[in-house]
Amino acid sequence: MAGVEREDGQYGPAVIHRPLVPLMNDTKWAELRLAMLEVEPRPTWSAVSRQTDVRCDPDSDWFYHFRIGSYSDLLLVDIGTPEPQQRAEVRAALRRIHLPAEETTGGFRVLGYALEGQAVGYI
């Protein structure tokens, strides 16, 4: 189980019985945003809101769209990397800035929060 995802694929506070612990701050989210601006072609991202449990549609605009709203609401962000070279570039960037993340079949998942006591890995 990655992040706080349930078996039915849903997310969020309604399914959590333990407190969430923040793993990221505004500085780390900004570092991710800036790192993804250097990757060509730009990978897509899709975020899950901690407040509403809603996943936004995939977007590749890291400059304006990624920073709309509050970073503190980001439960997790999935980064889509369909091409091997793009995946390698994103992996290198995530290692460089040392973020709580995991590799997925479609790319990477960066965790904004984790369940209290949950083990979290870094790429």
* Chain segment 35-77, per-residue pLDDT in tens: 999 999 999 999 998 888 889 999 999 998 888 778 888 999 9
Per-residue confidence (pLDDT) for residue 68, from 0 to 100:
75
Per-residue confidence (pLDDT) for residue 52, from 0 to 100:
85
Alpha carbons within 13 angstroms on the beta-carbon side of residue 65 total: 13
Confidence of residue 1 (pLDDT cuts 50, 70, 90): very low
Question: Number of helices and strands (H, E) in the chain?
Answer: 2, 6
* Chain segment 106-115, per-residue pLDDT in tens: 999 999 999 8
Cβ atoms 23, 111 nearer than 8 A: yes
Rounded CA-CA distance 45/62 in Å is 8
Pairing between strand 74-80 and 101-104? unpaired
Rounded CA-CA distance 116/28 in Å is 20
H or E element, residue 30: helix 26-37
Instruction: Give, as one character, the DSSP assignment of residue 68.
Output: S
Per-residue confidence (pLDDT) for residue 53, from 0 to 100:
84
pLDDT value at 10 more than 70: no
Per-residue confidence (pLDDT) for residue 94, from 0 to 100:
95
